[in-house]
Structure 1
Amino acid sequence: MTDTLKHYQSRMQRVLDYIDLHLDDCLDLDTLSGVAAFSKYHFHRQFMATFNLPLNRYVQLARLKRASYQLAFREHETITEIAMAAGYGAPDAFARAFRQRVGQQPSSFRTSPDWQRWNTTFTPLHTARNRVMPTSYQPGDVQIRSVAATPVAIMEHRGDPSMIGTTIQRFIAWRRSVGLIPPISPTFNVFHTDPRTTAPESYRLDLCAGTDRPIVRDREAIKAGSIPAGRCAVLRVEGGEDNLEPAALYLYRDWLPASGEEPGDFPLYCQRITFFPDVAENEAITELFLPLR
């Protein structure tokens, strides 16, 4: 990639980052072309040519994605508050836009989200964000750490990865009910299978909350487990969920063969440090752990 192209793409990335950080603010053509330092008379076409998505559609999808997370995972926020934060002056206007894009009323999505339709709706946004200008990693981005054993409470997700949102809703509700909310309790995900190579019905992921309390099995089928002690290769990942797969690919394809290390006897896992939508999506931080021998 030439230095000129890198500079051009960095200006476009600056726009995406600005949108993430200012979803509550005015995101019109004048503002965003100014962030990129491009002429407003050409910026619409430049954005469309780069991301295959019109600028106003990208902004709308970014706002509606945050709204969908707030509806599904932040039950203390009212629909009116979420609508106003998404740039809609009235709940009715928000409801129409949300139904048009996501296929459900906000109230219906809050109680019973259609995650498969949700994935279809936001695929163009995810493609624009992560596949046009993917994050690149270098060997210096990987740290080798010795981690202590961490006892955890586990809620298992089994089945179609597109339905993980439903399990996350149950997990969040359980954590609140027992007082194991972040940052009191660290959050881990253990990736037992790779969604790219595993049939949907066989996909397996553990949602974990760090705790040394005794685990009482209840209707949510929470069980006790542990993140084991040992050496790990750790890669810090910034941004949304779609950034985890290329980060894992870098660890396995590039870093591990060149490192001389051997993988250990525990699956790839991550710790969630900051969470979207509590922070802007480009400020969400996850640490990816590859256990080593």
Structure 2
Amino acid sequence: MNDPANERFRRVLDHVDSHLDGDLSLDVLARIAAYSPHHFHRRFSALAGMPVHRYVQLSRFKRAAWQAAFRPSVSLTDVALDAGYESPEAFSRAFRQRLGQSPAAFRDAPDWRVWATAWRELDEVRRFHMTTRFRLDDVRIVDFPETPVACLSHVGPPERIGESIRRFIAWRRASDLPPARYATWNVLHDDPETTPPERYRLDLCVTCESVVPNDAGVTAARLPGGRCAVLRHEGPDSLLGDAIRFLYGEWLTESGEEPGDAPLFLRRVAFFPDVPEHEAVVDIYLPLRPH
């Protein structure tokens, strides 16, 4: 990514993420890339594998679809208009074409299998052009305090995680535990690339002193205290695996540290779609053996 042309291209992707409500015309994006419009659209297509207008359209649609799926307080009409569609009907047609359901039908009963592959084109572009080069001194070691949490365990295929997220969000909202005041955590018990889908487990957690009995399946748990290596990842979740591989590979090898018995866990600091995707922030905690 040291190629100046690639850096200019990344600036364009960042600009698109940050200005989904603004003017993302060919002329504007060509100026960001410091190309003439005549060459920019060809250069973009060659690097991204799709025309620039298609990339913009998919980026706006992805944010809108995530709002439809995980922000029930936002009306579908507002979602459609914010995404640049002329009418809710136009948004519904696009939604049905990509996800096989209308927005309203999806909110009622999502088909998570389709959802799991709906963003593959965008993720591939970002995975190739928005990678981050981590350095050893990006990692810090902290003494993490044992932390009480409310926990919902997702057990089953990773592509159905959205189903658990929606249930957890609903319980959290009803329990008055907003992300601005109560930290959000994920505990990664398994690697989805090596674990049979039916056995895959990930815990959705929020800092919480006590949990009253409920029908959502949320229970009281604790994040174990101890020494942890912490690495901050900024950007889309599609690149999170690169940061985790850096911790387990290069950093552990060079530091001489060894992982502890507890599983890897994450703190979700800033969330997409509440922030642009490249501004999402996740702190990765790797428990270490005590000295």
> Shorter chain as normaliser: what TM range?
over 0.9
Encode CA deviations 1:63-101: one digit per residue, 9 max, x unaligned.
111111101111111011101110112111111112112
Deviation, 1:116, is 1.8
1:139-181: per-residue Cα shift (whole Å, max 9, x none)? 0111111111110010000000011011000000000111112
Q: Distance in 2 between matches of 1:290 and 1:246?
A: 14
The worse-fitting range, judged by mean Cα deviation, of 88-97 and 160-169 is 88-97
Is residue 268 of structure 1 aligned with residue 245 of structure 2? no
Superposition misfits of 4+ residues, deviation over 6 angstroms? none
Which consecutive residues of structure 2, in runs of 5 or more, have no partner in the other structure?
none
**Could you state the TM-score of these two structures normalised by the residue count of structure 2?**
0.96
Which residue of structure 2 aligns with residue 69 of structure 1?
66
Q: Give 3-state SS (helix, strand or coil) of 1:264's partner.
A: coil
Partner of residue 9, structure 1 = 6
Write out per-residue CA displacement over residues 106-133 of structure 1, whole angstroms, 9 at most, x where no aligned residue: 1111222222212222101100011344
Q: Which of the numbers 268, 277, 283 marks the counterpart of 1:287?
A: 283
Report the secondary structure of 1:218's partner residue. coil
| Structure 2 CA distance for aligned equivalents of residues 271 and 109 of structure 1 | 28
Question: Hey, what does 1:252 align to over in structure 2?
Answer: 248
Note the aligned Cα RMSD (angstroms). Answer: 1.2
Q: 1:204 aligns with which of 201, 204, 208?
A: 201
Q: Secondary structure of the residue that 1:237 maps to in structure 2?
A: strand
The amino acid that maps onto 1:218 is N
Matching of residue 45 in structure 1 with residue 48 in structure 2 = no
**What whole-Å deviation, never above 9, does each CA across 1:46-70 have from its counterpart, x for those lacking one?**
1111111221111111111111110
Output the CA distance in 2 between the equivalents of 1:258 and 1:140.
11
Asked whether the equivalents of residues 266 and 284 of structure 2 are also in contact (C-alpha less than 8 Å), the reply is: yes
Q: Which runs of 5+ in 1 are unaligned?
A: none
In structure 2, C-alpha distance between the alignment counterparts of 1:119 and 1:64, rounded to whole Å: 15
Secondary structure, aligned partner of 1:234: strand
Q: What's 1:166 paired with? A: 163
1:173-232 deviation line (CA, Å, top 9, x unaligned): 00011111212211000000000111111110000010112x223221211111111111
- Whether 1:33 aligns to 2:25 is no
Deviates most, 33-42 or 106-115: 106-115
Contact 1:53–1:128 at 8 Å: present in 2 too? no
Q: Is the 8 A contact 2:182 2:208 kept in 1?
A: yes
Q: What's the offset of the Cα at 1:237? A: 0.5
In structure 2, the partner of 1:139 is 136
Other-structure match for 2:16: 19
CA distance in 2, matches of 1:283, 1:44: 25
| Alignment TM-score, normalising by the size of structure 1 | 0.96
The answer (yes or no) to whether the contact 2:6–2:129 under 8 Å persists in 1 is no
Pairs aligned (count): 289
1:60 maps to which residue?
Answer: 57
SS at match of 1:120: coil
Q: Does 1:231 align with 2:231?
A: no
